[in-house]
């Protein structure tokens, strides 16, 4: 690990002022559960680390104006144990608790989960974001059992590792981002994630000199749930996840969102699956139609076709869990 400067500002403007104008020169430290690993593996070698631990305004959960606002440095444990979150957003609680160990829940942050780097083993072993050796895609030619089955026509074949991302997209959350000069901007959770087209880009809409400040989730009374398929509980990432949210009135569903996780470089919204729910009455048959529709457009690589069947199960069970 190379030497670096450590800064611990006490305000958001001070933190932003310490960030660089290109990726890699500075890195933001929140819980550090991913960044420390990246430092040890030389995935990033910054000259400055900007810690957020002393910025009190970035932590906490508040309800106001029909929204629940979550500070970016709120821990996953705090999120999963908050009464209002548990009442309104069980999908978020399931996703947060699925991260696993008490240590990760107690240290890992909401913002860190959303901004963590891909877990692709080619990337983690020094072959770049797209897992290439020269012009050869190591992912397409090699072991790709945990890689993307959607959105994989280009060079990006990793899957978004965020546990909370699919849920926040399904719930219609908005992200507040702070930039230079005290400016802020809001972006939807769906637009926060993006598929990079070059090694110089990252997996979110954040710029090198910007900071994720908070996440606002509208309180619409939607039924919602997340279902994850895992190899085991604990220190592991899911094979696939499904997050669903919908309104139900008079037994009829509307405004449905079905968002798939760990199957694409971004949380993957399935319009076909949502359409299968809208204007329907909830039943096991409806959940099964939704699950079948969710697999439309899947394009498995040589080693991950098993994800298609897992995805069907995850979507069906998420729909039924939301209903209950």
Q: Are 89 and 224 in contact (CB under 8 A)?
A: yes
Do the first three CATH levels of 55-218 and 223-323 match, i.e. the same topology?
Answer: no
Task: Report the pLDDT value the prediction gives residue 294, as an integer from 0 to 100.
Answer: 98
Under CATH, to which class is 55-218 assigned? alpha beta
Sign of CA pseudo-dihedral 190, 191, 197, 202:
negative
**Interatomic CA distance for residues 93 and 82, integer angstroms:** 9
Give the homologous superfamily in CATH for domain 223-323.
CO dehydrogenase flavoprotein, C-terminal domain (3.30.390.50)
Residue corresponding to tokens 């729910």: 277
Domain ranges of the chain: 55-218, 223-323
pLDDT at 30: 96
pLDDT for residue 235: 63
- Phi then psi for residue 255, to 5 deg, are 60, 30
Residue 255 has a pLDDT of 97
Residue 215 zone, left/alpha/beta (φ > 0; ψ -120 to 50; rest): beta
Instruction: Tell whether pTM > 0.85.
Output: yes
CA dihedral sign, ordered 130, 134, 138, 141: positive
Buried b (16+ CB within 10 A) or exposed e, 79-99: bbebeebeebbbbbbbbbbbb
What's residue 25's pLDDT?
Answer: 92
Please tell me the predicted confidence (pLDDT) of residue 237.
Answer: 85
Q: What is the pLDDT of residue 102?
A: 87
The pLDDT, as a whole number, for residue 18 is 97
pLDDT along the chain (324 residues), means of 10: 91 96 93 92 93 96 95 97 97 93 92 96 95 96 97 97 98 97 96 96 96 97 96 78 96 97 98 98 96 98 98 98 92
């Amino acid at each position: 690990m190379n030497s670096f400067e450590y800064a611990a500002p006490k305000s958001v403007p001070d933190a932003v002022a310490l960030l660089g104008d290109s990726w890699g020169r500075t890195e933001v430290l929140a819980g550090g559960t991913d960044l420390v690993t990246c430092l040890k593996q030389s995935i990033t070698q910054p000259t400055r680390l900007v810690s957020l631990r002393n910025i009190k305004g970035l932590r906490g959960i508040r309800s106001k104006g029909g929204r629940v606002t979550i500070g970016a440095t709120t821990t996953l444990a705090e999120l999963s144990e908050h009464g209002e979150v548990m009442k309104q957003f069980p999908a978020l609680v399931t996703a947060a608790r699925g991260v696993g160990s008490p240590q990760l829940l107690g240290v890992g942050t909401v913002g860190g989960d959303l901004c963590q780097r891909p877990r692709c083993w080619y990337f983690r072993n020094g072959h770049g974001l797209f897992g290439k050796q020269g012009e050869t895609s190591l992912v397409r030619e090699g072991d790709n059992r945990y890689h993307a089955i959607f959105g994989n026509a280009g060079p990006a074949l990793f899957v978004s590792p965020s546990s909370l991302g699919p849920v926040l997209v399904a719930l219609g959350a908005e992200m507040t981002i702070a930039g230079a000069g005290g400016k802020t901007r809001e972006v939807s959770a769906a637009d926060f994630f993006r598929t990079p087209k070059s090694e110089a880009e990252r997996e979110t809409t954040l710029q090198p000199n910007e900071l994720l400040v908070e996440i606002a989730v509208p309180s619409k009374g939607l039924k919602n749930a997340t279902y994850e398929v895992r190899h085991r509980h604990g220190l592991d990432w899911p094979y696939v996840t499904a997050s669903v949210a919908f309104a139900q009135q008079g037994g009829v569903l509307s405004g449905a969102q079905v968002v798939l996780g760990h199957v694409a470089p971004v949380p993957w919204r399935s319009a076909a699956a949502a359409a299968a729910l809208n204007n329907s009455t909830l039943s096991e048959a409806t959940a099964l139609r939704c699950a079948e529709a969710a697999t439309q457009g899947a394009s498995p690589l040589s080693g991950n076709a098993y994800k298609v069947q897992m995805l069907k199960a995850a979507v069906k069970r998420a729909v039924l869990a939301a209903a209950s």
